Amino acid sequence: MRISECVELYLSYISDKSTHTVKNYRTDLKQFIESIGDKEISQVTKADIARFRMFLQAKKRKSSTIARKLASINSFFEYLIDLELISSSPVSKSHRPKVTQKIPSSLSSEEIQKIVYSCETLLEKTVISLMLTTGIRSSELLSIRRSDILLEKGGRTFAPDTILENGVDGDEIAYIKIKGKGGKERIVPVSGKPLMILLQYLEKSRGDFLFPFSYHKLRRLINDLGRRTGIPLHPHKLRHTAATIALKSGAELRVIQELLGHASPLTTARYAKVGHKQLLKATRTLSESIDL
């Protein structure tokens, strides 16, 4: 993903800040691209940050202004780390502002209900229900194929089409094979109302990929829901919300990490085995917390 594409994601993320603040970030990031070029975000180095500094010095910017702009650039890269697009910031630690760690932005219960009720199509409701109750990434959602889904009923497993032909009664559980970062795979269970919504969608959509469109279309779909409700919304906010709900509902951290496909910050947790029953409990807790 190029810097300019990441900038659009970031500006969407901070859209709930003041107009002045957003304008400043837009200007700073535009100057950053102007100074180093619109390269792939993973290829930005410390040398590029030094080049940006020299670019600002050549424009006779004050040292305080340069420090502020570097802080803006670092905030941008910290967001991309949170989004898991990069692993570290190329901005030198000496130029990073000291900030208090804060919980990533998530939706309140009232906001969730507004968004769910504003869904006008089955596609919108399927995307929102899956992302809110499983916490999967945008890229993971878009990579799901029909063959990645297995349905369990009465101790037996079936392909989705078999269940659809014979009818559903709400006792089914879907296990979706998710292709995560670095090609790692994990299994995410879906049950209850989210599963009923997914099955309705599967019945009407017969293609190979469940969501055969680009990330930009997904972002527009979610942004449109946000505008419709007056709630700043972007794909990763849904993932944060799922994690927040699961944590508040008492799910263990290692279960949440497995559900979301995060690398554990603790060495011992990297080797912890999380069973399907625990994952199912986590996704059921999420679906029961959201009135779909």
Q: Taking each helix axis from N to C terminus, what angle separates 215-229 and 235-248, rounded to the nearest 10 degrees? A: 70
Higher pLDDT, 95 or 145: 145
Domain coordinates of the chain in residue numbers? 3-95, 109-289
**Identity at 207, one-letter amino acid code:** G
Highest mean pLDDT out of 126-135, 238-247, 275-284 = 126-135
Question: Does the structure show a pLDDT above 70 at 266?
Answer: no
List the CATH code of the domain at 3-95: 1.10.150.130
Question: Does the structure show a pLDDT above 90 at 211?
Answer: yes
Closest CA to 292 of 164, 169, 130, 151: 130
What pLDDT does 263 receive?
57
| pLDDT tens per residue, range 67-101 | 889 989 999 998 898 787 888 889 876 554 444 44
Question: Does the structure show a pLDDT above 60 at 119?
Answer: yes
For the chain, give the mean pLDDT.
84
What pLDDT does 63 receive?
85
Looking at the chain, the whole-number percentage of residues with pLDDT higher than 90 is 44
Beta strands in the chain (DSSP E): 149-153, 156-158, 173-179, 185-190
Q: What is the 3-state secondary structure (H, E, C) of 134-177?
A: HCCCHHHHHCCEHHHEEEEECCEEECHHHHHHHCCCCCCEEEEE
| pLDDT tens per residue, range 155-192 | 888 888 887 777 777 788 999 999 887 678 899 999 99
> Based on C-alpha coordinates, what's the Rg of the chain?
21
The predicted model gives 198-217 an average pLDDT of 91
Higher pLDDT, 124 or 247: 124
What pLDDT does 275 receive?
57
Question: Does the structure show a pLDDT above 50 at 214?
Answer: yes
The predicted model gives 200-227 an average pLDDT of 91
| pLDDT tens per residue, range 28-72 | 999 999 999 999 999 999 999 999 999 999 988 888 888 889 989
Question: Does the structure show a pLDDT above 90 at 202?
Answer: yes
CATH 3.60.130.10 fits 109-289, yes or no: no
Q: For residue 274, what pLDDT band results from cuts at 50, 70 and 90?
A: low
